[in-house]
Amino acid sequence: MSDARDAAALRRDLYDDDHFSECAELCRRRIYVTSAGPELFALQALLAWCYYQADSIDSAHEVATNAVRESIEPQTWALECLFAIAAVRGEDEEMSRLAVELGDTAVVLSGRIIRALKALAD
């Protein structure tokens, strides 16, 4: 059975309802058949967040980095994922760099909160 939902629909229908595993699987399938362009990069960003939610931080980092590197347009959601990863990893310099790139230095504080919450959960 084929699922032709785009990244926005997958995010709305699955990711936003915490169905990260199913969302990741459908993202991987769609990425395989999607040509380079905005939809591919949106799928990669969504897949990165699915990996992040599953605590597959290295996979999340790899996929989000690819989305940012391969795209000509800014990939805000992928950059935000990289920011959250930097927060979890305690990479303050990377968080600051990404905050500047995202255009919002206030997100550094939320990154520190992410790190603190992650530490409490562990």
Q: Could you read off the pLDDT of 87-99 as tens digits, one per residue?
A: 889 898 998 888 8
Task: State yes or no: pLDDT of 54 exceeds 90.
Answer: yes
Q: 55 lies in a domain?
A: yes
Q: 99 lies in a domain?
A: yes
Q: 39 lies in a domain?
A: yes
Q: In the block, which residue shows the tokens 């990289």?
A: 82
Locate all alpha helices (DSSP H) within 34-91, ordered by sequence. 38-53, 57-70, 76-89
Q: 28 lies in a domain?
A: yes
Does residue 57 contact residue 91 with C-beta atoms inside 8 Å? no
Confidence of residue 1 (pLDDT cuts 50, 70, 90): very low
Q: 2 lies in a domain?
A: no
Q: 1 lies in a domain?
A: no
**Selection from 14, 48, 9, 1 nearest residue 28 by Cα:** 48
- Report the CATH number that the domain containing residue 86 is assigned in CATH: 1.25.40.10
Mean pLDDT, rounded, for 10-16: 93
> Domain range holding 74?
7-121
Tell me the per-residue pLDDT of 60-71, one tens digit each, with 9 for 90 and over: 999 999 999 988
- Note the pTM of the prediction, 2 decimals: 0.83
Say how many domains are in the chain: 1
Distance CA 99, CA 97 (A): 5
Confidence of residue 117 (pLDDT cuts 50, 70, 90): low
Q: 40 lies in a domain?
A: yes
In the chain, % of residues over pLDDT 90 = 52
